[in-house]
Amino acid sequence: MAFAEPNPNEPTDTKLHSLMHFGQAGVAGEEEKTSPDSPDQSLQDSTNSFEAAPPLQTPSADEQVNQNTESQPEIEDSGSIFQAVGVITGEVNLAEDGKNTVTIGRSQYPLFYVPRKRKVFEALQKEIEATGNRTQRLVVYPKAIHFPRKDQPHRIAFQLVGFDKGRFEEAVSAELLDLEFKFSGLWQFIPVCATPCVSVFRNFTRERLEYIKQAEPAQKVKFMKASHLPLLWKDAPVRPFRFNPKAPKEDQGQPTFVTLKAKFLPGRDVFGFVALLAPPQETPPRFLKASKKDKATAQQASQKDKPRVQQVQQPTPKNNSDEHSNRQQKPSQKPILKKK
């Protein structure tokens, strides 16, 4: 389910957020720097069930790994970028309808891929068919799905990047342990999640900026959608940013950019802090973010499309029922009119 690329010759209103640098969620590493116009694929089924289960032997909210844990310089980048990438090991379940899942412990999560990673998915499929072993070590981008209702818990899904069989050069696979992730993003609260999150936006490039200039508001908003990954981080050196609607703009402050290692907690669907990989930064790298105007325009367009579908579908059954009633119920119509 790839996004349709906009027509470059089609003029659109492309006023972007003037105060923020612009970016996108969940795409990580060197590939993030070099693939400017391949937006993330939507989840194939956001309604998949998630079985609650006790977490594996991973750090809890009260048992965080010491911040002085030795960091691994091999996974450091030459420049700061937004990213979220990690390694999971689980039982891969490939379905004919495309609703693939991966089971970690007792919990099941959606597993999807973007069109540019189809070869990786096909190689994984062949590996499972040849060996009969469905338990695989995967390199993935984590995705968090939040809902407007605060009492409705978020859900986690994973986007396939590669698998650890030596056929794809994924340096992060060698540097991270099972269930470990590297996050680089803004440390903040979001309105629909009680747990603070690391917000990962789309990194800024000139090519992506040109792509966005040609996109319709709905495409633009979808392309720049951030991924907000809930993180348990006890004794964090900086507080997560929380927007205060009552405070004046100059007193709001801004979220801190953090780069850290975290561990996924299956069953709880959150990540636990492991170690800092770089000092927190007050100024984040440039990223792309959809403006409020584009979000409002996209929402209005989606609401307008719903009644149009109903108007097209309703006339056909009404006409058929009217003809049927004229043929078979004409005698019964006269008494009804007299009563009225």
Q: What is the pTM of this model?
A: 0.67
DSSP assignment letter at 116: G
Residue written as token pair 């956001």: 46
Neighbours of 244 (CB within 10 A): 10
pLDDT of residue 171: 67
3-class DSSP state of 145? strand
Neighbours of 185 (CB within 10 A): 30
Is there a contact between 192 and 146 (Cβ–Cβ < 8 Å)?
A: yes
Separation CA 258–CA 285 (nearest Å) = 11
Q: Please tell me whether residues 235 and 124 are part of one structural domain.
A: yes
Angle in degrees, 0-180, between the axes of helices 330-339 and 315-328, rounded to the nearest 10: 90
The answer to whether residue 21 is domain-embedded is no
Domain span including residue 326: 292-340
pLDDT of residue 306: 61
Separation CA 276–CA 233 (nearest Å) = 11
Q: Please tell me whether residues 219 and 115 are part of one structural domain.
A: yes
The answer to whether residue 177 is domain-embedded is yes
Smallest Cα–Cα separation from 153: which of 188, 195, 189, 112?
Answer: 195
Q: Please tell me whether residues 298 and 236 are part of one structural domain.
A: no
Expressed in angstroms, the distance from the first to the final Cα of the chain is 55
The answer to whether residue 9 is domain-embedded is no
Q: Please tell me whether residues 202 and 160 are part of one structural domain.
A: yes
Model confidence pLDDT, tens digit, residues 304-339: 766 554 444 555 555 554 544 444 444 445 555 555
DSSP assignment letter at 180: E
pLDDT of residue 301: 78
Q: Please tell me whether residues 152 and 266 are part of one structural domain.
A: yes
Structural domains in the chain (count): 2
Smallest Cα–Cα separation from 58: which of 89, 80, 30?
Answer: 89
Sign of CA dihedral 65, 68, 73, 79: positive
Q: What would you report as the CA-atom Rg of the chain, rounded to the nearest whole angstrom? A: 24
Q: How far is CA 171 from CA 36, 77, 166, 185, 288, in A?
A: 21, 12, 10, 20, 26
Flag residues of the chain having pLDDT under 70: 1-78, 166-171, 305-340
The answer to whether residue 8 is domain-embedded is no
Separation CA 179–CA 262 (nearest Å) = 8
Q: Please tell me whether residues 85 and 181 are part of one structural domain.
A: yes
The answer to whether residue 62 is domain-embedded is yes
Q: Which two tokens stand for residue 218?
A: 């709905």
Separation CA 117–CA 158 (nearest Å) = 13
Separation CA 188–CA 229 (nearest Å) = 10
The answer to whether residue 18 is domain-embedded is no
Cβ-Cβ contacts under 8 Å for 92 (sequence gap 6 or more):
100, 101, 102, 111, 124, 128, 134, 135, 136, 138
pLDDT of residue 170: 53
The answer to whether residue 4 is domain-embedded is no
Phi, psi of 254 (to 5 degrees): -155, 155
Q: Please tell me whether residues 333 and 241 are part of one structural domain.
A: no
Q: Please tell me whether residues 109 and 200 are part of one structural domain.
A: yes
Model confidence pLDDT, tens digit, residues 252-294: 899 999 999 999 999 999 999 999 999 999 999 999 988 888 7
Q: Please tell me whether residues 269 and 284 are part of one structural domain.
A: yes
Q: Please tell me whether residues 197 and 304 are part of one structural domain.
A: no
Q: Please tell me whether residues 325 and 230 are part of one structural domain.
A: no
The answer to whether residue 169 is domain-embedded is yes
Q: Please tell me whether residues 171 and 107 are part of one structural domain.
A: yes
Is there a contact between 202 and 284 (Cβ–Cβ < 8 Å)?
A: no
